[in-house]
Structure 1
Amino acid sequence: MPPRHWIAELHRRSQSSTRPGRAATHRPPGSVGCVYHSWVWPGDGRPLARQAVVCGWRSSFELLRSAGMLTIFVVSDATGKTAERVVRSALVQFEGAETTIVRRGGIRSPDQIAEVVTEAAARPSLILHTLVADDLRRCILGLSRQHGVDSMDLMGPILDRLATNLHRTPREMPGLFKQRGEARLREVEAVEFAFRHDDGQRVEDLARAEVVLVGASRTMKTPTMLYLAYRGWFAANIPLLPDIPIPEPLRVFPSARVFCLLQTPNRLLELRHARASYLELPEEGYATLASVRRDLSYTQHLARELGWHTVDATGKSVEEVAQEIVTLLPPLPVANLRPATSKAAGRAGVRRSRRSP
């Protein structure tokens, strides 16, 4: 490329309308103040086309690029934040380079890609994209070549190599990483909710629950509740005792979402014996067959009276009990879907993706 003072002189001469020796000139669209023309030095007739092209439309890009003035378009079908961090990490290796990063997220159609490529073509640009859909990657590659814009696929080679080694085909669904993060956030919130509403705590807040487990002592209420919480359900549990009236929030809670857990009398007696022995508790009134039968009879009576589901947990794992509960749960009304405490999860507008145990 010619020295900078050549460029300045050619640019100055291109603005003169009286100097002899200038041939036809024009300003192509997208030029940055330079004139594309054919020059002949007065007197010797030696052409200077090669040097004059420096002032033309395309070489004005090279002029800006050589000075380190580059716009980097980060294109993603999700947020593009991860790709932007990668780009910034790489840019620190180029001290003094004047670059601008433009992030374009949510790109999921050919029309959106065309808009980005057109914008990039108007200045010295590099397009770095992380599109998971193969058709969109081919679209941006074709349009970039058509408009003369340099582009690089950051996602495609990774997907191809993983597909080869995993012997599986990628789903090519945009936004899955973000959705999974939001689902994970929901699960954390559900676990926190479960711990706050274990063993009859905070019954005044029971309306926020999606499922309530009730039953006599040692009927697997807490482990089942926590398992449901780890799968993303907002669950609570309330013990039922014959001598203590049930709380009013439980009485008015939708019966289709209340599950009364049961055990056979003999199995429940074994569980209570083990607990009384471990905690050194007196067995009278708690770990006797009479007390077990009384408690089970009371919980079954309430379940019939209030229309609750009953689930026999005898000999079943926590996973099996949870699966039976989830199968019986009715769909949640849209009006009951609470916003997440996180702004990111609140924008999702979707519930947990891991609902089934």
Structure 2
Amino acid sequence: MQPDDPYPPIFVVTGSLHGVGEQLVHTILAQFHGADVPVQTYFCIREMNQIELLITEAVISNALIIHTMVSPDMRQALVAMAQAQGIMAIDLAGPLMDYLSILLNREPSGQPGLYRKMHEVEFKRNEAVEFTLAHDDGVKAEEWHEADIVLLGVSRVYKTPLSVYLAMMTWKVVNVPIVMGVTPRRELFELDRRRVVGLMIDPDQLLHHRQYRQRQLGVHGRSNYVDPVKLFEELEYARKVYRRGGFATVDVTDKPIETTADEVVATVTRRLKSEA
């Protein structure tokens, strides 16, 4: 191959919906700066005719095949067909499975995607937490519609802790601050209102939370942030926003986060069913 010739592609082949091999290939390619090697991933390869088509494409493009096939039959077929056509096929899963089969004295199930199925809740939780942290405090409005739940509220109704707790329950959550005098973004009123919940709280308890927060920050003296009159006006403004959007409300006064989370989930679930 001449220096200016394009690099042959790498085909990453898997029997599941997720390409672990693809991530590994990109990680290794990153060590070869400037080598623009095309990588193409083939998911859910579970039929012989799929392998035949794949090998044909590999022959045409002189591709290198990297595979993580866990089905013994499919793996053997892929290796045999690749060898017959002079195509290099690197097996990332087979040697490890063979070793573990001897070590554990049992045969693998050969079922693609089994790890994902066994750990589905864990995967969903991680995805929900990642999404929720990336959409804290009203950022990325263009992605709000992707949330399972959208929480609204004035400052110090603990939107963020509640959002993270819900994310641990596998809900993808966006939280949006309601600020007195600031018109809410139009995206808020374009959302599925059944998934939006406005948080309310007793004014005295909110005042207590804010005063405590000020002490934590070393701030002393009066301000609009802890002015009882302004605080009441903030809550009334939030209530108007909720009414405008047709959003349900949940009162967080004197409630542990677990109880509030359960109420939020129950509220959203009920509205999704009753207003389908």
Aligned partner letter, 2:214: A
- Alpha-carbon displacement from aligned partner over 1:69-118 (angstroms, at most 9, x marks no partner): xxxx98xxxxx999755324369xxxxxxxxx9855349xxxxxxxxxxx
Q: Report which of the two structures shows the higher radius of gyration computed on alpha carbons.
A: 1
Name 1:263's counterpart in structure 2.
201
| Mapped pair 1:86 → 2:24 | no
| Mapped pair 1:319 → 2:258 | yes
Q: Distance in 2 between matches of 1:232 and 1:278?
A: 31
Structure 2 gap ranges (5+):
1-70, 73-93
User: SS at the partner of 2:224?
Assistant: coil
More helix per residue: 1 or 2?
Answer: 2
Name 2:239's counterpart in structure 1.
300
Q: Percent identity?
A: 29
Q: Distance in 2 between matches of 1:269 and 1:180?
A: 46
Q: TM-score, normalised by structure 2?
A: 0.58
Q: Retained in 2: the 8 A contact 1:190–1:230?
A: yes
- Alpha-carbon displacement from aligned partner over 1:241-269 (angstroms, at most 9, x marks no partner): 12111112111111111111111010000
Name 1:166's counterpart in structure 2.
none
Counterparts of 1:54-93 in structure 2 under 5 Å? 84-89=98-103
User: SS at the partner of 2:208?
Assistant: helix
Q: Retained in 2: the 8 A contact 1:220–1:261?
A: no
- Alpha-carbon displacement from aligned partner over 1:307-334 (angstroms, at most 9, x marks no partner): 101100000011100000111223899x
Of the candidates 279, 298, 304, which is equivalent to residue 217 of structure 2? 279
Name 2:183's counterpart in structure 1.
245
Q: 1:283 to 1:180 in 2, by over 3 A?
A: farther
User: SS at the partner of 2:187?
Assistant: helix
| Mapped pair 1:195 → 2:163 | no
Runs of 4+, deviation exceeding 4 Å:
80-85, 101-104
Name 1:208's counterpart in structure 2.
146
Q: TM-score, normalised by structure 1?
A: 0.46
Of the candidates 108, 112, 122, which is equivalent to residue 184 of structure 1? 122
Name 1:235's counterpart in structure 2.
173
Of the candidates 100, 103, 110, which is equivalent to residue 105 of structure 1? 110
Name the count of aligned residue pairs: 181
Q: Retained in 2: the 8 A contact 1:273–1:283?
A: no
Structure 1 gap ranges (5+):
1-72, 75-79, 92-100, 108-174, 334-357
Greater relative CO (CA pairs within 8 A, separation 6+): 2
Name 2:37's counterpart in structure 1.
none
User: SS at the partner of 1:227?
Assistant: helix
